[in-house]
Chain A
């Protein structure tokens, strides 16, 4: 039994899924957004910020924390998956997308609601929204080299080796990135330069995939080391004192893999595992900054994860899946936690699917239980999704879903704030996704409503010097994501344009006695959108993008004192490929807009990056011989 790597690649790659004849391997509902990563921009967060319904929270600079929030659920509800296995962080439940490079992955996709596909892990059913990063899966031998240099100043180099054998393929890469993080910004009537914002990072990743016992196995090793400064918020500060001297060093590594047996007989299965270790050293360096509190802290998080997914086909159209996951996470810290932070999580999902060319439907029920130092938290999370394609040019997706996020170790155990009695925080979602697909035009409109209950909120206790985490928040969210895409070819010239617009109302309904009841939650813009235009001609690529984010508030008090003005940022890039080489020049924020995504953290103004790439591929792709 043998299939070519390209067919396997298509099966695994949702971008190509529409061309696969087998309906069975499709997800029930389609990805809201998906994008091939070309490597022109270095960080995954640079690509994801375009997606509709996504709010990137960026503290600025290459080293600033970058998290994504989808449809105002909160970034803790957004699962980030690499090759189908979750990247998790039990300490604070947030994944920094700035740590992932476009060099390591071939594509990124966003799923609202529930991605439902054969042989998923149970965890894939557990998050409110999901971002999927797919590692590169080579189809032929190649060397790929990329170097970049740019503002702040920034310099980076990446090399990747793809090797394909008959029953084995390898993609291994290394990347170094340095950014000085120095950029000018306006602070009221003065212009300052961002200091202590530099980062250097080294990433190594390696993926090996092969065939064994009629199935496909893979191993993926990812290692990341970085050292960075945190520039701190921009505030009024006596001129003789620096804003910050804080530094952080990180060393993350994980090994994951699995074996998947899915060959056409009614029963198929996949086993997966992951071992991860992440270490952080945070130091405020009070000897360099008289304004610093003397923190010198070390954290080490370790986790082990196993998953068994099984699928049984019942005839041509029906199938039922049972996926079971187990995970153990431990946090070691020299900071004083009230309880030793450790967690054992079990999750099981039963999923039923009906797949036909015009109608796909699924229902799932997930149970997740977590044992934290003797405390048990369990939750049931049902969901249902539907895809209907009555006409060739018309498709409709719908989903309803309940999901929850567990309290993080910080929520539970931080000595001054933690509350061991926290319950999980729930998100109930319902959404529609209507798409019209023509030859040159595609239109998507996707209304949704979400309700976040038992939201974990930090509140001062009776002694307000001591805070506590409490399940008291409630947020009502309603919105609509829209996207219009147009493309056409005129001779050798290919033109593409995308217009995106998101409306969202995210209202705080926590406490009717408060004056802020019914106000828009912090940092959620009511209106946001972007325009993207791209032209390709004889190896030249010219792209323009303008993104607009409407006004926001930094607190739930929607008054003038806490108003954050709207901002517009335009980027332009020009690329040319000739032979095995390609060169691109990207000018970011060309109108030098001064803006802050997070109050107190100015974003860079106008900047440029020059990127040089070379791909030396073996002309003859290795074609496995039929057996």
Chain B
């Protein structure tokens, strides 16, 4: 769950060295209730150009390349392919997928606290004691304390979830889950992990998409059960009331994207179509997607799911030329949408208030993930 809810009051910006950073001034009328919106730019795989941007409300500025500016000693920058970002307390946790690093920064001034080694980290979730990281590493291979590998171990593409102590920043064990796990969420002592099998596309036909959610008991840190949902699962949200929501990308032609609900009693139902880009805010899951994933110019469908009412509805904003790659809901009527443009050149981030675009600013390469502090 990349998008942590925050609780309300607007604190004045504490003086820190990052206040020297200057960015593009933007109009922040209509958004409030947080100090910073962090934007993770994934970068292009192999190009080592993941980067961190932030929208700072105290001086209404959008600042790019914050990690590099605040951490000059990390000369190689944030790394290769930023995959998820979460604000946990006053810390900013970033999963840098192809660098094998979960980087912990101070949310106050973006300085690095601890880079933690985790193989192929994908997504982050947390409870009071641990941060959970889904990982695409081979689950059968038990890596030693120095990450050496026993070569007698055979290949196995199932993934794992690692847990990291929030205080010590040390990895404390892992548990095997399904194929290429993606999103995860914690509710009531249970960790729900969406397994995608998302690279089966690129593998021989004997491989297939995964369609399960692994349920892990956070006390024993063991998989308790596995729930069949739909192929190619991606994100997991908890509404805090016992319902878990999971998105599926489908296979992009015969099975299309959708939003699925797992109720407290374990029953599974599809509640919405077209859930390629999703975000949760308060009681509402916002979805953008369409029927024809092939079509470059296809117009998106706009769906929402009201958790409390248990009802589908729709929403819309005038995208005004923006092609979504990442979505975050700041409130019921303000959204930020990231556009990766051509994936190769820098993308941009736009603010939409009351269904209309307020501004667009240049970001890094492939902006796609948000977190609020």
Contacts and interface: CB of A to CB of B under 8 A. Distances in A.
Nearest to A187: B76
B214 interface: no
B296 A462 contact: yes
A290 B46 contact: no
Contacts of A240: 100, 117, 146-147
A1 interface: no
B328 to A, nearest CB: 16
A6 to B, nearest CB: 51
A463 B46 CA distance: 22
Given A290-B149, A600-B47, A238 B252 contact: no
B76 A235 contact: yes
Given A236-B48, A462-B295, A599-B47, A286 B201 contact: no
A53 B300 CA distance: 45
A235 B80 contact: yes
Given A296-B155, A561-B65, A464 B47 contact: no
B11 interface: no
Interface in A288-311: 288-291, 293-297
Given A241-B147, A287-B138, A415 B154 contact: no
Most-contacted residue by chain B among A238, A467, A513, A555 (CB, 10 A): A238
B115 interface: yes
A235 B98 contact: yes
A287 B141 contact: yes
Interface string B188-219: 00000000000101111100000000000000
B204 A335 contact: yes
Contact of A287 (B80, B118, B153, B290): B153
B5 interface: no
A460 B99 CA distance: 23
Given A236-B78, A240-B117, A462-B300, A290 B143 contact: yes
A234 to B, nearest CB: 7
Interface in B281-299: 289-290, 292-298
A390 interface: no
Per DSSP, chain A at the interface is loop
Given A336-B204, A463-B252, A554 B289 contact: no
B33 interface: no
Nearest to B297: A462
Interface of A: 187-189, 232-241, 286-291, 293-297, 334-336, 415-416, 457-468, 470, 513-516, 554-557, 559, 561, 599-600
A557 B346 contact: yes
A241 B117 contact: yes
Interface of B: 46-49, 65, 74-80, 96, 98-101, 115, 117-120, 136-138, 141, 143, 146-147, 149, 151, 153-157, 199, 201-205, 249, 252, 257, 276, 289-290, 292-298, 300, 321, 323, 325, 340-346, 362, 364-365
B294 A556 contact: no
A514 B47 contact: no
Given A287-B153, A287-B154, A290-B143, A461 B48 contact: no
B202 A295 contact: yes
Contacts of A600: 46-48
B99 A287 contact: no
28 contacts: A233-B48, A235-B98, A236-B48, A236-B80, A236-B96, A238-B118, A240-B147, A241-B100, A287-B149, A287-B151, A287-B154, A287-B155, A290-B143, A291-B137, A293-B199, A295-B202, A296-B155, A336-B203, A460-B325, A461-B293, A463-B252, A464-B325, A464-B340, A464-B343, A515-B362, A557-B345, A599-B47, A600-B46
A290 B141 contact: yes
Given A236-B80, A236-B99, A294-B138, A461 B296 contact: yes
A236 B77 contact: yes
Contact of A235 (B99, B203, B296, B323): B99
Nearest to B157: A294
A600 B98 CA distance: 14
Contacts of A457: 342
Contacts of B156: 294
Given A237-B99, A240-B117, A465-B249, A554 B151 contact: no
A235 to B, nearest CB: 4
A237 B147 CA distance: 13
B76 A236 contact: yes
Most-contacted residue by chain A among B153, B293, B298 (CB, 10 A): B293
Contact of A295 (B119, B203, B295, B342): B203
Contacts of B294: 461-462, 466, 468
Nearest to A510: B342
A522 B48 CA distance: 16
Contacts of B80: 233, 235-237
Contact of B137 (A290, A459, A460, A516): A290
B257 A235 contact: no
B204 A236 contact: no
A516 B99 contact: no
Nearest to A416: B201
Nearest to A293: B199
A288 B343 CA distance: 30
A295 B323 CA distance: 31
A521 to B, nearest CB: 11
Most-contacted residue by chain B among A288, A289, A415, A460 (CB, 10 A): A460
Nearest to B76: A236
A187 B101 CA distance: 18
Nearest to A470: B296
Given A240-B117, A295-B203, A462-B298, A290 B100 contact: yes
Given A416-B201, A461-B295, A189 B75 contact: yes
B149 A288 contact: yes
A235 B296 CA distance: 31
Nearest to A511: B342
A463 B75 contact: no
A467 B292 CA distance: 13
A87 to B, nearest CB: 27
B75 A335 contact: no
A412 to B, nearest CB: 14
A513 B118 CA distance: 41
A93 B204 CA distance: 23
A415 B204 CA distance: 11
Given A236-B48, A460-B340, A461-B294, A335 B154 contact: no
